[in-house]
Each structure stands twice: as C-alpha cells, then as structure tokens.
Structure 1
Amino acid sequence: MFGIMLVVIEFASDVGEDDWKKFHSFLTRIGRGSKIIIVSKIKRIARFGTVKEISLSGLSHDELRYLFKALAFGSVEPTEHPRLVQIADDFATVIHNSLVSLVATNMFTDVLRSNLNVQFWRCILDKAARMVKRNISIYGVNPTMRIEQGRQVDITDIALHPLSLKFYSVNASIKTELPSVTFGKLIKDPSVRPKGDFILMAWESRISPYKLFPSYVTSHAQDTDQSSALPGRKRQGVPI
C-alpha cells in the first residue's frame, strides 16, 4: 500500500471505458482513499468524474492583452515604448481572434522581447496575421481550430517557404533523428530552415519542469492533401 495519494491526470485524447476502469481500479487498490483530478480539453472525459466538472473559459481580450504585454516587455516599462504598445495591442487581437493559445502567446512574446524595435515587431505581427489569413483561405478555419482537430497548419508566411506544421500529441514519439530548430530562430531568420522535414521547437516553458512544445514540420511538396499557395497570389518574402 502506498497510502493516500493525490493523482493528477491530463488526457490529450479520449479514453475507452474499459481502459479507464482498469486504471481507476489499480489506483484505488494501491492507495485506498486517494483522490484523482482529471484535466482535459475534451468534454467527453468529464463522464469519468464523480463530481460536477469545473470548466475554465479562455482569457478575455483584455486579459490576453494584459498578459501579452507583460510577457513581451518583461522588465521594460511599456510607457517608454508607446509605438510598441500599440503593436502589442494589435498582436493580442490577432491571437485572441485566431490563435487563442497560451503556447502561441509565449511563442511570439519570446521573440518580440528579444528585440524592442518597431520595425521588427511590425514584421512579426504581419507574418502572424498573414499566416492566419492563409489558413482561413485554404481550410476555411483559423489555425487554432486546425490544431485542436489534430490537423496541419500552414506556416508558409512564418518560414517564407511552403511548409505545414503539426503539433505532437502528448503520447506521440518525437522523431529525434530529424534536425530541429526553434520557432524564434525560424521566424527571425527563415534561412535556418533545415532541408526536408524537421522538428520545430515551438516553445519551452521557463518554469520547472521546463516542458517542451515540439511540432513536426513538412514541406508542401510532400503534402498532397492541400495546396499551399493562395489562389491568384504570388508569394513575396518579407525579410527581417
């Protein structure tokens, strides 16, 4: 017997009834009186609970705007950079409307915080906005919905090359033999893009246990499912 325990489980995908019963039975045997907290974005998982679930809503626009500026400016006083404050507000709107994700917020603010330059911030904002428009034009939905559906997202406007990205699920094995590059390096200098498929390290948490958010990136030349280019448009690179 292990005594009373508090077990916190995060489900990234749905689980069968039999699998859950086996797991639950195992926990109750080794720790009688233990409590289990289930965390998931999947509504169906709530059926395993014995009390009413607690649903957390996303950040409001004002809350996200506050968080975005706090992360983007860090220890720098925002009032010293009024033009950057306006860009940060515009960026927060893009993320709130189409890229609603704390990971996306941290991905972009990590990049912006490294260079408090107006032209640099505008270039990153333009890339993000174009990426959203491209995905809506191709797939009919914004990038967040594609990611939640476990589908690829077009990042041509981030890498200045026809590429698609798909985030790894929690239980997926990372192809360690592939080359890797961080999101920050790729968006600041697309020339660092490895040839062929590669792993994009979207973001690494700065808080222990320093969780990584990797994704698999493949060229559209190998993706026969969808076309990469917007109809009737010629791609133009926007160097930083």
Structure 2
Amino acid sequence: MFGLTMLVVIEFASDVCDDDWKKFQSFLISMDRGSKIIIISKLKILARFGSVKPIFLKVLSYDEMRYLFKAMAFGSVDPAEHPQLVQIADEFVKVVHDVRGSLVEINVFADVLRRNLHVQFWRSVLNKGIRYFKRNLSIYGVHPGILIEQGHLVDISDFALHPLSMTLGEPLVNVSIKEEPPSVALAELLANPSIRPEGDFTLIAWKSRIAPHKSFTHYVTSHAPETYEGSKLEGSALPRRKRRGVSI
C-alpha cells in the first residue's frame, strides 16, 4: 500500500514548544517520507524548525510596490489607456511606501479601485486612504496597520464620513436572540458611505479570490472624536475585542 504524500502549510502566530513540534513532525514523516512542511510566520525564532535556509520577506521597494499595485488595480486593463489613473496610483503608492504600508493594504485598496476605473472614483478613494494614514499617524504616532495587528483601535472616520473606530475581529453576537451583526464590504462603504449600518457592524476589508476565500474582517463601532485627541500610544495595548460569542 502506498503512503499518502502531502504538502502541509502552517501559519504560526506565536512560538511553539519544541516537543510539540517534534511530535507533529514525526507523525507527518511516519505517513510518507515524501511529505513536506512549509512554515509561514512573522517570528524569526521559528526558523529553528526548518531544514533549509529560511526566506525572509522584506518591505517592498517603491518600484516593486508600484508595479504590484498597478497590476492588481488595473487587472487585465492596459494602464497606458488610463494615464490619469496611473498618476493617481503613483501618488497613492508614494504615500503608502513612505509610511511603510503593508501588502494587505495594497491588496485592499487595489481591490476597491479595480471595480470602477473612473478618475473621480479613484481620486475619492485614494484621498480617503491618504487621510486615513495621516489621521492615525497624527493621533497615535503609529502606522494603522501595526495598530490593527496589535489589537489597538484605528480611526476610519474618513472611510464613512462619520466618526468610526475599527479593530481586528467581529462584533459579538447577541446569543439570546442569535442575531448576526450587519456586515459591509469596504469597497461598498468607500463608494457609498451612506450604506453604513446604524450601530456596530462587521467590515469585510478584503476577501481572497483564492480558495478557501478567506475574509479579512474587522469590528467597527461609532466613537466620539474627542476621545481620540492626544491619545498617543505609550506602550500599553488596548484590550482586543473578543470574537463571536458561543452559546454554552
């Protein structure tokens, strides 16, 4: 009987006990010696589990980010046919690169722009994005992408033209009546801020087009602007919003 050869891709968000890793690795090898494991993580310490030299992804250069953003924003459309959009895209990439923006942010905004290749729409969306970066840097002194990763709130008032804050995760479900909170796609919110639900809601920032089509969701709630004034972060993380409640 032939063994089952597998390719296992694991993403670690935290460090792993060496003994636990050895047990898992031994189990996989026992199934078939041709099986392979790929480890993905932001923690360099996990490189100790690898049997080959690790590959470290660094911040993209301006030219690399510019090429990637245009490829995703224009899709199959020739950018040369839209010189004004190319100029707007260049302006946005410069801002994102200057504040050391992430690939997730590039993906999110490119996904929004690809839906509507009109100059006025692009200018509106990218101006909102630029104000979003500058507002959070001014308030907290930290890039909003880093704030989200660490569980802090970020100000997204510029997206909806209404005082809103956002953090990683989803609103809690009202277990007693099993009511799901409303959800809105970021692309829809940027295009039409009036669709913002009353009260808390789930914001779907981006959904992968590759199976299993993972969605990047955030918890959004209204906030009073004055509560954000002068609130520079000083090393203490805000508590992360719990994910959906589960009935017991």
Q: Normalising by structure 2, what TM-score?
A: 0.78
CA contact (8 A) 1:128 1:158 kept: yes
Q: Percent identity?
A: 55
CA RMSD of aligned residues (A): 2.8
Deviation at 1:229, TM superposition (A): 5.6
In structure 1, C-alpha distance between the alignment counterparts of 2:93 and 2:66, rounded to whole Å: 5
Deviation at 1:213, TM superposition (A): 0.9
Which structure 2 residues correspond to residues 89-168 of structure 1 after superposition, within 5 A?
89-98=90-99, 100-168=101-169
Q: Say if 2:68 is the partner of 1:67.
A: yes
Which structure 2 residues correspond to residues 1-240 of structure 1 after superposition, within 5 A?
5-11=6-12, 13-17=13-17, 21-29=19-27, 31-32=29-30, 33=33, 34-98=35-99, 100-168=101-169, 177-221=180-224, 227-228=227-228
- Letter of the 2:40 counterpart: V
Question: Structure 1 residues 24 and 151 mapped into 2: Cα distance closer, same or farther (>3 Å)?
Answer: farther
- Letter of the 1:177 counterpart: E
In structure 1, C-alpha distance between the alignment counterparts of 2:157 and 2:45, rounded to whole Å: 34
Deviation at 1:85, TM superposition (A): 0.8
Name the stretch that deviates more: 47-56 or 129-138.
47-56
In structure 2, C-alpha distance between the alignment counterparts of 1:200 and 1:60, rounded to whole Å: 30
Question: Structure 1 residues 74 and 97 mapped into 2: Cα distance closer, same or farther (>3 Å)?
Answer: same
In structure 2, C-alpha distance between the alignment counterparts of 1:77 and 1:52, rounded to whole Å: 38
In structure 2, C-alpha distance between the alignment counterparts of 1:230 and 1:86, rounded to whole Å: 35
In structure 2, C-alpha distance between the alignment counterparts of 1:112 and 1:229, rounded to whole Å: 31
In structure 1, C-alpha distance between the alignment counterparts of 2:15 and 2:212, rounded to whole Å: 26
CA contact (8 A) 2:201 2:219 kept: yes
In structure 2, C-alpha distance between the alignment counterparts of 1:105 and 1:70, rounded to whole Å: 11
CA contact (8 A) 1:5 1:31 kept: no
In structure 1, C-alpha distance between the alignment counterparts of 2:171 and 2:217, rounded to whole Å: 11
Deviation at 1:25, TM superposition (A): 0.7
- Letter of the 2:91 counterpart: D
In structure 2, the residue matched to 1:234 is: none
In structure 1, C-alpha distance between the alignment counterparts of 2:166 and 2:135, rounded to whole Å: 14
In structure 1, C-alpha distance between the alignment counterparts of 2:4 and 2:172, rounded to whole Å: 35
Deviation at 1:35, TM superposition (A): 3.9
- Letter of the 1:227 counterpart: T
Q: Deviations over 1:89-136 (max 9, x none)?
A: 111122223362222112211221222222221111111111111101
CA contact (8 A) 1:152 1:166 kept: yes
Deviation at 1:174, TM superposition (A): 7.7
- Letter of the 1:45 counterpart: L
